[in-house]
Every structure is written in structure tokens, then in C-alpha cells.
Amino acid sequence: MDHFSYKNGELYAEDLPLAKIAEEVGTPFYCYSTATLERHYKVFSGAFEGVNSLVCYAVKANSNLAVIKTLARLGAGADVVSEGELRRALEAGIPPSKIVFSGVGKRPWEMEFGLNVGIHQFNVESEPEAKVLSEVATRMGKTAKIAFRVNPDVDAKTHAKISTGKAENKFGVPWQDVSRIYADAAKLPGIEIQGVDVHIGSQLTDLEPFDNAFQRVRELVLQLRREGHNITQVDLGGGLGIPYDGTIPPTPTSYGNVALNAMGNMGVQLIFEPGRLIVGNAGVLVSEVIYVKEGAERKFVILDAAMNDLIRPAMYDGYHHIDTIKEPSADTVIEPADVVGPVCETGDTFAKARDLPRVDPGDLVAFRSAGAYGAVMASTYNTRPLVPEVLVNGDQYAIVRERPSLEAILDLDTVPSWLDDD
């Protein structure tokens, strides 16, 4: 459920018409709903009510400070993958004791920053990383609390580019080497082993891969305890999908039942890293129709939003439902069209032969389920400014990231002295 719906013949975000925001902010722009963010967090965290658990929002899904702060006020922790994301989480008010640091390529200075602020846990992805973290912690006179991310070699049955739990993926340490790796790490100075971490992929719509992975983790925890390791934390990652194309994924409650069936009696703190599930349906991308072009074989609806604003369709063949801001009437003509942007790439295509209400130049459309991996993956390709982000709360809104001017973009470049004509 989200809080974008038709009222009085037009699409609203909570109690505000999106057309009104478009008139004042300009298009394209991202719009996030506070009520949806809050509801999704509460539904997910509620699946583990009464359980020793920590819900760490995956900042990479949407790193806007206003979004993170909205979740921080509800008690969320954070899963971060860079010093920049760690600083965002802290700036938004998330205590370091609720932050886990993931990612395969942590640099020594990032480790140092995490140790200085006192984060909850480093999710270590390789033996070389463990050795570098040991060196950094020892030099600083600190102890790094870690969990190794274990690759369970489980097929998540999701898109190849967002599958992370198979043996061929770059993430985690090999399942078959876990005993030796933990034994070697236990000898490293400045390292305290406290947990096990697993994350098999993103946008999963089937519980079976989760069940397979979690049961493997359960067996692993029991094995590691027999081998003398004090395992008190189990990070089960994230990855539960959202209904982009109408496919209804499992509910957080069903997911929670699978997790608790495997790990509920293990005497550990369970850590979860939902991202897309929290923010995906809490955001839309609003765009204006520039032209409607009749091609030789098909119709093209050309928008002012482009692949640099929303890369998922081009990168992942991602589907986003497209709504017109004006509510279609019963006699509105529906016809197929390719929905494209103005970037000079054939890949700048949002949808092919999509059945849509007939639109004209100046009409507005909204890409649904755009709150995750939308603005956060945007670029200035073709020297197009990053689009603004807006947060709605009831009948009020705020611009939570401004649209930069072209002058500001140009000012980021520096011409060397030998090219200076002055």
C-alpha cells in the first residue's frame, strides 16, 4: 500500500496534487510520501515485534537525508556501504550503535572512521579485508566487531545483476571455507568475531531462496559455536521484493515467519537490511510529455525525464507502472506507445508498446515505485541537471534536494592553465 491515489480527477501524493507540486518545482522531480515510508517501516519491523532484532535501513536504496531522518525517528538503524553513507546516517540521527558497515571494498580510512564513531558491526566480505581491518584497529588501539558475510551459494531467482548469493558472485566468503576463515580471524589482533552475515540478492518474490539460505545459516551458527566462536549476531540481509508489475511478493509477516523459523530460538540478535521494501513504493518520478511522435511502425511518447534520472529500465530492464496525472475517464482512449526520454541513446527507453491513456504535449505522467534506486543512481549524463527531490507530509511538502543550475554543473570542472586563453 502507498499514499499516491486519484482524488478529484488527478493523482495526489497524500493530500497534495502532484500537478501543483510540478507547477511550483518544475519537472522532472522525485516525490516521496512520508506516510508511506512510515507505514512500510512499521509493517516490516512489526514482523519482529518482541524479538531481539535490529532493522538497518539499506541507505543505498535512497540516501536522501530527509528520508533517512524520517526512518531514524521510527527507530531504524542503517546498513551502509561507504564512509559517505555512514556520514549520512549519522547526520540523519541514526546512532552508530545501530549501524552496520557492508561492502566488498572498504578502504582503511573508512574502517578508521567506523571504528572512531563506534559502529555496531563490520560485515567483512573477504580474508584480505579482515587482515586490513585488524591492522587498522590494532594501530588505533580499538577492537573491530565483525561478522563475515558468507556466500551460501543459493540461487535467489532474481535478475542476474542483483543476485549476490551464488558462488559466482563477488560477495562474501565461500561457504566451504567458513570454518578455516573464522579460525584464522579469531587469531587476528583487534578483531572480535560476533556474528554471521548473509545476503542473497535484491527484489526476491519467492520465499524459498530465503528459507534455503537461512537454514544454511542456522547450521553454520551451530557449527561455529561447536568450534568455540561466540556468535551473538546474525545478519540476514534484505532483498524482499515489491510489486513493480502487479506481481504480489510475500508479505513481511510471511518473510518474518521464515526467518524466525530458522533463527528464532538461536539466542542471537537478528539484523535485517531492508531498502527497496521501505522506500520503493514511497516514491514517484513525475515527468512532462514533450512530444508525441508518430514513427513508421510505432508511437513514441517523449518525456523530459531520461535514463540519467531513472536508470532501472535501461540497466535492469526494470518495469515501472506509468500513470497519467489526470485520472483517465471511462471513455479515455488507451493505445500502445514507446515511452522514451531525450537522451541520445536508444537505451533511453522506459517502456515499449505500453498500453497508456492517450497523452498530449504538456501532460504529466508519474512513474510508480520509483523511490528506490532512482534519484540515488541518477547522473548528469548529457549535462542534464540532477532532478529535485520532494518530501510530502500530509498537505505540505519540502524540496529536500534542489535542482542544480547548469552554471553550478559547469563550475565543477576546472580548465588547466595551459588551456586558459586569458
pLDDT given at position 159: 42
Cis omega (within 30 of 0) on the bond before 96? no
Res 387 pLDDT > 70: yes
Res 1 pLDDT > 90: no
The whole-number average pLDDT for the span 395-416 is 97
For 268, half-sphere exposure in the C-beta direction (CA atoms, 13 angstrom radius) is 27
Q: Which of 344, 410, 415, 419 is catalytic?
A: 344
pLDDT given at position 54: 98
The whole-number average pLDDT for the span 187-210 is 93
**252 phi/psi in degrees, rounded to 5:** -55, -35
Which has the higher per-residue pLDDT, 155 or 249? Answer: 249
Mean predicted lDDT score pLDDT of the chain? 93
- pLDDT range class, residue 105, cuts 50, 70, 90: very high
Domains of the chain (ranges, CATH numbers): 4-31+280-410 (2.40.37.10), 103-272 (3.20.20.10)
Give the integer Cα–Cα distance in Å for 243 and 276: 11
- pLDDT range class, residue 164, cuts 50, 70, 90: very low
pTM score of the predicted model: 0.94
pLDDT given at position 245: 86
Q: pLDDT exceeding 90 applies to what percent of the chain?
A: 86
Nearest C-alpha neighbor of 324 from the set 363, 350, 351, 282: 363
- pLDDT range class, residue 171, cuts 50, 70, 90: low
Give the integer Cα–Cα distance in Å for 309 and 320: 13
The whole-number average pLDDT for the span 315-340 is 95
What sign has the CA pseudo-torsion 161, 163, 169, 172? positive
The whole-number average pLDDT for the span 204-208 is 91
Nearest C-alpha neighbor of 303 from the set 384, 362, 376, 237: 362
Q: pLDDT exceeding 70 applies to what percent of the chain?
A: 95
pLDDT given at position 420: 84
C-alpha grid cell for residue 72? 531514524
Res 170 pLDDT > 70: no
Tens-digit pLDDT profile for residues 111-127: 999 999 999 999 999 99
pLDDT given at position 85: 98
The whole-number average pLDDT for the span 261-279 is 96
CB 407 within 8 A of CB 384: no
Report residue 364 CA to chain centroid gap.
26
For 45, half-sphere exposure in the C-beta direction (CA atoms, 13 angstrom radius) is 18
CB 195 within 8 A of CB 147: yes
pLDDT given at position 422: 65
C-alpha grid cell for residue 148? 563475515
pLDDT given at position 297: 83
- Residue 344 appears among annotated catalytic residues: yes
Nearest C-alpha neighbor of 90 from the set 72, 70, 115, 67: 72
pLDDT given at position 202: 80
pLDDT given at position 69: 98
Which has the higher per-residue pLDDT, 314 or 154? Answer: 314
What sign has the CA pseudo-torsion 399, 279, 62, 160? negative
CB 99 within 8 A of CB 85: no
Res 12 pLDDT > 90: yes
